[in-house]
Chain A
Amino acid sequence: MSKYYVNKFLYSIDRDPEWVARYKEDPAATIDRWEKEVGIWLNSAEKTSWLSFTEDERRALINSDYEWLFAYGAHFFLYLTLFIGVFSDDWTEEKGPLSYQLEWARRLAPWIGKPYPSVAL
């Protein structure tokens, strides 16, 4: 059930500049804070009581581990845009334009020709 929660994290972080900055600064602490302030809330008054991360999910989000998230079937659009927002500028400065994205594609190359894990929940 927590694939939804992983997507909820990615979605709600990516759309808010303050959360993006916190996640870039300290992913582990940001995930804890996000759970308390955003994750368990349906809206400002209502809670969703049964959602949580597994240890693997938490680790993948702390490490911005796109290889794990791809294999897991988290939604590609969500972690692609967030991780580009967090990492791409620094990589561009150090290694040139699109270096982060192309390294990403290269690391996932073993998936070429195979059916990808579904992003359906």
Chain B
Amino acid sequence: MAELTAVLASTHHPFYLKATTAPPEERMPQADEWKRKVEAYRETLTAAEPDILVMVGADHFHQFFLDNYPTFMIGKQEKYDATFYNEEREFGIPKYVLDGDLVLSNFMHQGLLDEGFDFSFSHELKIDHSIICPIITVRPDADLPVVPIYTNIFAPPLPSPKRFWDLGRIIRKIIDAYPSDKKIAAIGTGHLSLELGGPRMFGEHGPDPEFDAQAIEWLSTGNIEAILENVTHESMASSGNATHGFMDLILMMGIAGPENADYVDQLDLYHTREMFMTWYPNKNDKMAEAAARSAAEAGGVTGPVYAAKAGATA
């Protein structure tokens, strides 16, 4: 059976590449720290030696529109073009062509149907920055085949947080049952609190730092009960109108299971907080050492991160 060697859940920040390759006079003060953290995070994936990447993201009205918007969708192609014109324009993200893995796409799709997730599917999917951002950050050689899974965190009505968790659990079950000797890593990106087009966007911090701290604790402790008790579509909207991308992080935690994370790092940026989290479902010494080394380099930790208690100072 295939081995799930790593689960990565992170925010996707489309300006990372621009920020860290800008000429010195335009470089934001946090660019070096940001780059160090991303490169350390990358090592947590490298140590898992993946052969295939199952990637979870959400189309930002690049290919899908309100005439026909899939709630959950899987790509089933030999190749995937990536990066749309307006992403190049706004973020300076280059174009890519990624290899697919048709056998795993088909196995995954059938497994999802068998388990009660009636997925939409595409044979002409173009990938957007929700999947290319993590390629840039954790696998910049873009040398592994991918199985892309897209979710709707964007065009209401949205599926419930519970449904994202359940989907993650099912994806895990299907990966574990995949008859192959390949090593698989699951990589998904979403958001912590985020505001787009509203009064709280582009602030000095993300729109709801308290939610961010709480969210990182819940994810890094695998605490699905707390998430399902506290997180609703309405509560996410009150943390920022685009915070619903958090549900893709819940999905990734579903793939990992209700377990402590093995690597957690974060970076407070203007506009939104970055989070870098890795679980090793079948942790070996090499992975543990990589996580410890990365934590030392980047200022991350090799276990859960708890939100400060109310009233405590940072």
- Which residues does A use to contact B, with CB under 8 Å? 4, 7-8, 11, 14-17, 20, 42, 66, 70, 75-81, 84-85, 98, 101-102, 104-106, 108-112, 115-116, 118-121
A76-B242, A77-B60, A81-B90 are known contacts. Are A101 and B201 too (CB-CB below 8 A)? yes
Q: Is the contact region of chain B dominated by helix, strand, or loop, or is it mixed?
A: loop
Residues of A close to B197: CB separation below 8 A: 66, 70, 76-77, 79-80, 104
Minimum CB–CB distance from A90 to chain B (whole Å) comes to 14
Residues of B close to A119: CB separation below 8 A: 155-156
- What is the interface size of chain B, counting residues whose CB is below 8 A from a CB of the partner? 27
A70-B197, A101-B202 are known contacts. Are A75 and B155 too (CB-CB below 8 A)? yes
Residue of A nearest to B88 (CB): A17
- Say whether A14 contacts B86, CB under 8 Å: yes
Residues of A close to B154: CB separation below 8 A: 77
Residue of B nearest to A76 (CB): B197
Minimum CB–CB distance from B217 to chain A (whole Å) comes to 25
- Cβ 8 A contact of B203, one of A8, A105, A116: A105
A14–B155 Cα gap in the complex (Å)? 17
- Cβ 8 A contact of B157, one of A15, A75, A109, A120: A120
- Say whether A108 contacts B198, CB under 8 Å: yes
A-B contact pairs, 15 of them (CB 8 A): A7-B66, A11-B65, A15-B86, A16-B85, A77-B60, A77-B61, A77-B196, A77-B197, A79-B197, A85-B86, A108-B199, A111-B198, A116-B198, A116-B241, A120-B157
Which B169-206 residues have C-beta < 8 A from chain A? 196-203
- Cβ 8 A contact of B61, one of A75, A106, A115, A120: A75
Residues of B close to A115: CB separation below 8 A: 237-238
Q: Is B84 an interface residue (CB 8 A)?
A: yes
Q: Render B75-86 as a binary contact track against A, CB cut-off 8 A, 1 for contact.
A: 000000000111
Residues of A close to B85: CB separation below 8 A: 15-17
Residues of B close to A81: CB separation below 8 A: 86, 90
- Say whether B156 contacts A102, CB under 8 Å: no
Among the interface residues B157, B199, B242, which one has the most CB atoms of the partner chain A within 10 A?
Answer: B199
- Say whether B202 contacts A105, CB under 8 Å: yes
Q: Is B89 an interface residue (CB 8 A)?
A: yes
A9–B47 Cα gap in the complex (Å)? 46
Residues of B close to A20: CB separation below 8 A: 89
Q: Is B293 an interface residue (CB 8 A)?
A: no
Residues of A close to B60: CB separation below 8 A: 77
Q: Is B62 an interface residue (CB 8 A)?
A: yes
Q: Which 10 A-B pairs have the closest CB atoms?
A: A76-B197, A108-B199, A80-B197, A120-B156, A101-B202, A109-B199, A112-B199, A105-B199, A111-B199, A76-B196
Q: Render B228-253 as a binary contact track against A, CB cut-off 8 A, 1 for contact.
A: 00000000011001100000000000
**Contacts A7-B65, A85-B90 given; 8 further ones with Cβ under 8 A?**
A77-B196, A84-B90, A102-B202, A105-B201, A108-B199, A111-B199, A112-B199, A115-B238
Q: Render B195-233 as a binary contact track against A, CB cut-off 8 A, 1 for contact.
A: 011111111000000000000000000000000000000
Minimum CB–CB distance from A116 to chain B (whole Å) comes to 6
Residue of B nearest to A109 (CB): B199
A111–B200 Cα gap in the complex (Å)? 9
A15-B62, A77-B60, A105-B203 are known contacts. Are A70 and B156 too (CB-CB below 8 A)? no
Residues of B close to A108: CB separation below 8 A: 198-199
- Say whether B202 contacts A8, CB under 8 Å: no
A49–B151 Cα gap in the complex (Å)? 31
Residues of A close to B157: CB separation below 8 A: 120
Residues of A close to B242: CB separation below 8 A: 76-77
Residues of B close to A112: CB separation below 8 A: 199-200
Residues of A close to B196: CB separation below 8 A: 76-77, 80
Residue of A nearest to B158 (CB): A120
A77–B242 Cα gap in the complex (Å)? 9
A7-B66, A8-B66, A75-B155 are known contacts. Are A105 and B90 too (CB-CB below 8 A)? no
Minimum CB–CB distance from A117 to chain B (whole Å) comes to 10
